[in-house]
């Protein structure tokens, strides 16, 4: 490797473009004081990466740019280029000629270029490492540096020998590897902290996810059960309403039949009264019995009055049932047993009325037959009276059951209202929890993605650490070899110095 040329433009005192060619045989630059020899050295220092302004004998970077004179205007750019021959391939590049350039603009912008391609200062340092070309290498020795080397100040002699031996690159790489290793260890520590935090968050998120799943399962079951209950209630209400209508029609028919039977009974009683009046004279001996029979007829009239009252009550009951049906609308399922019981009572009344008609027909035949069966009729009338009282008691019981059913309906209505309120509250809770669930799911997915990235980064960092450790081991071996070589050269140097 050989310095081929130096090109300076706008740097310090070099206003115009100046090219210095270092051909074969040229070993130095001479000239009178103040001609710019030191500025040439400063330009070389600057282009290979010197940042310490005091080493460039300036106050700031702007002072490196040609500031102008009485006859020349100031320059806006300082540019220096160094060209090297790489015929022996000492530089790690395939080019036979390497040119490095540094530019600085008065606006504050600067750039480095390698073979007219933009690059970093680090790239230039890596290119010339262990070649003796750097801003602090032994290639540029000032007067003060000679004293430092003789006195071995700050291990300057050792540093110069290491640069000459070519092991500084390994020290630099070792330092970089150590920094990378420290950074990797810090990254691993951060990754472990992140993994610990993510694991803690995952437990909480998994618990929340399970609760959300359970909540949606319960919500689904609740919805299905609510639908089934609504269907069952609707079907039950429809069936109950239809049955009540049928029962109402049946009761109306039975009432008509009962009114007809009562009318027949009244006609029979009237005929009976006429027959008794006509036969009053002929039946003096039966006066006592006739009086008793008359009492029985009066009792029957009372029974008829009671039956009429009962018919009026049934009419009122029918009107009440119609109003109740309009108000309840099908929710009177509890009346089914009461209506069945009432139907049974009406059927019993029909049987008793038929028996009563039969007995009345027997009374129409002859008074003698009435006399014979008078005791039986009186017993039958007593039985009817007892049955009527039993019917009244049953009716009272039915009314109590209806009242209980009304209370049950009110309780059912309150329960339905409470269920509807709870359902509305649950729906509001569902609507409030839905965004939170989505946010938790998104956060969980993001955490899982971050965890996967961290795990991949962890594995990649492990591989880099292993590779770095292997490289460090190789560098240690190379450093040991170079140390042995350095010791050998030092011994040779000491031997030559002693000679």
- Per residue, what are the HEC states of 61-84? HHHHECCCCCCCCCCCEEEEEEEE
Q: Which phi and psi angles does 118 have, rounded to 5°?
A: -60, 140
- What is the rounded CA–CA span in Å between residue 366 and residue 286? 13
* 359: confidence class by pLDDT, cuts 50, 70, 90: low
Within this chain, do residues 123 and 241 fall inside the same structural domain, yes or no?
no
pLDDT exceeds 60 at position 216: yes
Q: State the total domains in the chain.
A: 2
Instruction: Write the pLDDT tens digit of every residue in 117-154.
Output: 999 988 888 887 767 676 665 566 665 666 666 666 66
pTM for the model: 0.36
CB 304: neighbour CB atoms within 10 A? 15
H runs (alpha helix) in 283-373: 287-328, 335-365, 367-372
Last residue of a domain, one of 404, 419, 434: 434
Which of the residue ranges 52-56, 107-111, 303-307 has the most confident prediction, judged by mean pLDDT? 107-111
Tokens of 160: 């110069």
Within this chain, do residues 272 and 403 fall inside the same structural domain, yes or no?
yes
- What is the rounded CA–CA span in Å between residue 350 and residue 160? 136
pLDDT exceeds 70 at position 431: yes
How much is the average pLDDT of 389-398? 71
- What is the rounded CA–CA span in Å between residue 199 and residue 189? 15
**What's the confidence (pLDDT) of residue 205?**
72
Burial class (CB in 10 A: 0-12, 13-18, 19+), 100: buried
In a domain, 119, yes or no: yes
H/E stretch holding 181: helix 168-278
Within this chain, do residues 312 and 421 fall inside the same structural domain, yes or no?
yes
How much is the average pLDDT of 49-69? 82
- What is the rounded CA–CA span in Å between residue 463 and residue 451? 18
Lowest mean pLDDT among 55-69, 324-338, 444-458: 324-338
More confident residue, 381 or 49: 49
How much is the average pLDDT of 275-302? 60
Instruction: Write the pLDDT tens digit of every residue in 232-270.
Output: 666 665 666 566 667 667 766 776 776 677 677 667 667
More confident residue, 31 or 325: 31
In a domain, 409, yes or no: yes
- What is the rounded CA–CA span in Å between residue 48 and residue 96? 19
**What's the confidence (pLDDT) of residue 80?**
93
In a domain, 214, yes or no: no
Last residue of a domain, one of 397, 419, 434: 434
H/E stretch holding 5: strand 2-9
**What's the confidence (pLDDT) of residue 323?**
65
In a domain, 302, yes or no: yes
pLDDT exceeds 70 at position 452: yes
Lowest mean pLDDT among 66-80, 195-209, 331-345: 331-345
C-alpha 476: how far from its chain's center? 53
Percent of the chain at pLDDT exceeding 90: 5
**What's the confidence (pLDDT) of residue 451?**
73
Provide the mean pLDDT of the chain.
73
How much is the average pLDDT of 193-212? 74
- What is the rounded CA–CA span in Å between residue 362 and residue 379? 15
H/E stretch holding 19: strand 18-21
How much is the average pLDDT of 453-464? 75
More confident residue, 248 or 439: 439
The rounded radius of gyration (Å) of the Cα atoms in the chain is 62
Within this chain, do residues 260 and 129 fall inside the same structural domain, yes or no?
no
* 9: confidence class by pLDDT, cuts 50, 70, 90: very high
C-alpha 332: how far from its chain's center? 46
- What is the rounded CA–CA span in Å between residue 130 and residue 1? 12
CATH number of the domain within which 19 lies: 3.40.50.300
Which domain range does residue 48 map to? 1-135
Percent of the chain at pLDDT exceeding 70: 59
Alpha-carbon distance values, 217 to 224, 227, 247, 472 (Å): 11, 15, 44, 59
How much is the average pLDDT of 442-468? 76
**What's the confidence (pLDDT) of residue 162?**
66
């Amino acid at each position: 490797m050989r310095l081929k040329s130096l090109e300076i433009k706008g740097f310090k005192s070099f206003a115009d473009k100046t090219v210095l060619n270092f051909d074969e045989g040229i070993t130095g630059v001479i000239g009178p004081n103040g001609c710019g020899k030191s500025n040439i050295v400063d330009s070389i220092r600057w282009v290979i990466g010197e940042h310490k302004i005091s080493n460039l004998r300036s106050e700031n970077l702007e002072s490196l740019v040609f500031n102008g004179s009485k006859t020349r205007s100031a320059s806006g750019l300082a540019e220096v280029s160094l060209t090297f021959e790489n015929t022996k391939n000492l530089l790690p590049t395939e080019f036979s000629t390497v040119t490095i350039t540094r530019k600085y603009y008065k606006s504050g912008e600067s750039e480095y270029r390698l073979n007219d391609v933009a690059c970093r200062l680090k790239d230039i340092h890596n290119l010339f490492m262990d070649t003796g070309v750097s801003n602090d290498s032994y290639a540029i020795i000032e007067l003060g540096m000679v004293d430092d080397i003789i006195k071995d100040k700050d291990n300057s002699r050792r540093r110069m020998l290491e640069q000459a031996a070519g092991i500084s690159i390994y020290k630099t790489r070792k330092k970089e590897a150590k920094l990378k290793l420290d950074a990797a260890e810090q990254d691993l520590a951060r990754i472990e902290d992140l993994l610990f935090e993510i694991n803690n968050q995952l437990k909480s998120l998994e618990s929340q996810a399970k609760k959300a799943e359970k909540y949606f399962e319960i919500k689904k079951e609740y919805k299905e059960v609510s639908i089934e209950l609504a269907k069952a209630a609707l079907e039950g209400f429809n069936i109950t309403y239809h049955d009540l209508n049928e029962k109402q029609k049946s009761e109306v028919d039975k009432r008509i039949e009962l009114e007809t039977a009562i009318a027949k009974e009244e006609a029979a009683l009237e005929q009976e009264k006429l027959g008794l009046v006509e036969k009053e004279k002929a039946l003096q001996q039966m006066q006592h019995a006739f009086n008793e029979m008359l009492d029985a007829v009066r009792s029957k009239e009372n029974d008829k009055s009671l039956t009429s009252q009962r018919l009026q009550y049934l009419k009122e009951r029918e009107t009440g049932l119609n109003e109740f049906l309009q108000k309840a609308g099908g929710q009177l399922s509890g009346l089914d047993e009461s209506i069945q019981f009432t139907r049974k009572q009406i059927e019993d009344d029909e049987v008793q009325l038929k028996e009563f008609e039969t007995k009345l027909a027997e009374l129409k035949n002859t008074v003698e037959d009435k006399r014979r069966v008078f005791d039986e009729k009186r017993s039958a009338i007593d039985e009817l009276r007892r049955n009527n009282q039993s019917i009244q008691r049953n009716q009272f019981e039915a009314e109590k059951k209806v009242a209980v059913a009304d209370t049950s309906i009110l309780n059912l209505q309150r329960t339905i209202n409470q269920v509807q309120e709870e359902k509305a509250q649950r729906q509001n809770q569902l609507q409030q929890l839905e965004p939170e669930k989505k946010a938790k799911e998104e956060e969980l997915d993001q955490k899982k993605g971050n965890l996967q990235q961290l795990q991949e980064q962890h594995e990649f960092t492990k591989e880099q650490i292993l590779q770095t450790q292997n490289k460090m081991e190789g560098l240690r071996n190379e450093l040991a070899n170079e140390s042995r070589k350095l010791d050998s050269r030092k011994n040779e140097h000491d031997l030559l110095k002693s000679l």
